[in-house]
With several copies, the nearest count.
Chain A
Amino acid sequence: MRVTVLLFGRLHDLAGLRELECEVPREAAVSAVWQAVTGRFPAVAPYARSVSAAVNAEFVKMTTAVDEGDEVAFLPPVAGG
């Protein structure tokens, strides 16, 4: 199934884009989407331990399952304020 992936902050600099489509197996977890992203853009792989994620603009765990058409966002460590 297909999901939309959003990359923020330094992740989009490293990947060279902000948004992409990913094919992942049915019932894939967010972590599988991340694997697909790092497969295409090895430069983002060092963020494996510090990345967090959101699905359809809700914070989720990497173990959360995604659905067809979901918007999956990967967030490097934040620096608001």
Chain B
Amino acid sequence: MSDRRLAIGPHVLDVGELAALVAGDEPGAHGAVVTFVGTVRNLNQGRRVIRLEYEAYEPLALRAFAIIRDEVAAHWPSARVAFHHRTGPIALGEASVAIAAASPRRADAFAACRYVIERLKQIAPVWKHEYFEDGDVWIEGAVADPSDEKAKEEAFRRSCA
């Protein structure tokens, strides 16, 4: 079952396309569309990043995305979300992740959008390799475990629902 709303790959991200996907067909059916774009930063902990690559385990990433989409549907039944993650080399200032969330209520659209980025950071099997003038480092964040209830609660708390 393919879902254009969820994708991962080396293509340049288009958040406008995602917003259109969630805005729906019926004119005016959704009152609020919130988007998030995460761009590659030129500084990380005081070091100047010169190059950056994202690696992903793509089939598992799509599973993680579907899990997140279903969690959003459980929390905010009226919200629709779409999100894409980019892989491979990404130029500074370009987007690594793009998310769109739509809902009749703006509070739900904000919360759903925020929840997606928090959960992506917790469980998406994606790794960031940063290169500096004088070396490189794999950025490592969360231990990926979709069933970790504490992590889910933290993501929900941050989404300010």
Contact = CB atoms under 8 A, between A and B. Distances in A.
Contacts, number: 94
Contacts of A13: 138
A24 interface: no
B140 A10 contact: yes
Given A52-B145, A54-B125, A81-B117, A59 B60 contact: yes
A78 interface: yes
A77 B147 contact: no
A9 B54 CA distance: 9
B158 to A, nearest CB: 13
Interface string B28-58: 0000000000100000000000000011110
B60 to A, nearest CB: 5
Contacts of A10: 127, 138, 140
A73 interface: yes
Contacts of B123: 59, 78
A78 B119 CA distance: 11
B59 interface: yes
Interface in A38-81: 50-52, 54, 57-59, 73, 75-81
